[in-house]
Amino acid sequence: MLEAIVFILGLLIGSFLNVCIYRIPRGESIVFPASHCPACRKPVRPYDNIPLLGFLLLRGRCRLCRAPISWRYPLVELLHGLGYLFILHQFGYSVQALVYALLFSSLVVVTFIDLSHQIVPDVITLPGMVLGLIAASTVLPPGPINSLIGLFLGGGLFYLVAVLSIAVLKKEGMGGGDIKLIAMIGAFLGWKGMLLTIFLAALAGSIIGLFLVFIRGRNRAEPIPFGPFLALGAMVSLFWGAEILNWYLLLGRS
């Protein structure tokens, strides 16, 4: 029963995050005006705005102008609802779970904005760094020192990559948004979780990158946004980081 409530809460917040994903990169207010169809600008009726069900009942089209509604809307809602369920399962009813839910929501917004606009918005990452530091100093396991190291080491490493790729490769290899994003992740997870995040993100990014180049024939020069991989790496690191590190250390000893 309580799981169902958390899942529905995740769906509802996911529906609000869709608004953020659409409006933040366009510089629009996230509270006003109420949801409207991007094609005909008409307001969405409350019963059509119900997460998942609205999309299914409308069969993916606007009620008024029949313009297709992006698959991103139900996908974000479902992903977000399932994410909340999983955080509850891993961390129970705790303050940690609440903070991690907030981190997860921020990373979902970052992921989908980066996928469609190739930017990681400061309005998420800058307050995220502050919140990460405060949370890690009070209720999260890393503690203040570890969190500070995570923030500055993560940001510093990516800054170095950015400077080096401009100096050596004469092209931008790392955006400013990614620098702030890894700093924020470092603040929440501490330096070990942050390094594991980079490792997992680079691994997943390489696999997907090769897949896109060889299978889909994507142009190699076309950049692939790195934010979604960092978000994925951070979540895997949060949920299974201890197991992965233990397994890695055992390998080193044998």
* Contact (Cβ atoms closer than 8 angstroms) between residue 21 and residue 109: yes
Q: Cα–Cα–Cα angle for 225, 36, 7, nearest 5°?
A: 65
Closer Cβ to Zn ion, 66 or 218, answer by number: 66
Interacting stretch for Zn ion, rule CB under 5 A, among 10-18, 48-56, 59-67, 211-219? Answer: 59-67
Residue 40 is a binding residue for Zn ion (CB under 5 A): yes
Residue 57 is a binding residue for Zn ion (CB under 5 A): no
Closer Cβ to Zn ion, 17 or 62, answer by number: 62
Question: Closest separation between CB of residue 38 and Zn ion, Å?
Answer: 8
Instruction: Match 């090769």 to its residue by tokens.
Output: 210
Residue 62 is a binding residue for Zn ion (CB under 5 A): yes
Residue 95 is a binding residue for Zn ion (CB under 5 A): no
| Among positions 37, 99, 200, 235, the unique one binding Zn ion when judged by CB under 5 A | 37
In three-state secondary structure terms, 43 is: strand
Interacting stretch for Zn ion, rule CB under 5 A, among 29-37, 69-77, 196-204, 228-236? Answer: 29-37
| Among positions 39, 162, 213, 244, the unique one binding Zn ion when judged by CB under 5 A | 39
Type of residue found at 168: V
Residue 65 is a binding residue for Zn ion (CB under 5 A): yes
Question: Closest separation between CB of residue 35 and Zn ion, Å?
Answer: 11
For Zn ion (CB under 5 A), the number of binding residues is: 7
Residues 66-85 interacting with Zn ion (rule: CB under 5 A): 67
* Contact (Cβ atoms closer than 8 angstroms) between residue 192 and residue 229: no
Cis peptide bond upstream of 141, omega within 30? no
Interacting stretch for Zn ion, rule CB under 5 A, among 62-70, 115-123, 142-150, 178-186? Answer: 62-70
Residues 122-181 interacting with Zn ion (rule: CB under 5 A): none
Count of beta carbons in the 10 Å neighbourhood of residue 16: 17
Q: Cα–Cα–Cα angle for 149, 154, 158, nearest 5°?
A: 150
Type of residue found at 58: L
d(CA 102, CA 114): 18
Count of beta carbons in the 10 Å neighbourhood of residue 254: 4
In three-state secondary structure terms, 18 is: helix
CA dihedral (205, 75, 130, 223) in degrees, to 10, reads 30
What lies within 8 Å, CB to CB, of 89 at 6+ separation is none
Residue 38 is a binding residue for Zn ion (CB under 5 A): no
Question: Closest separation between CB of residue 45 and Zn ion, Å?
Answer: 11
Closer Cβ to Zn ion, 40 or 160, answer by number: 40
Residue 119 is a binding residue for Zn ion (CB under 5 A): no
Closer Cβ to Zn ion, 61 or 192, answer by number: 61
Closer Cβ to Zn ion, 40 or 57, answer by number: 40
Positions touching Zn ion (CB under 5 A) are 37, 39-40, 62, 64-65, 67
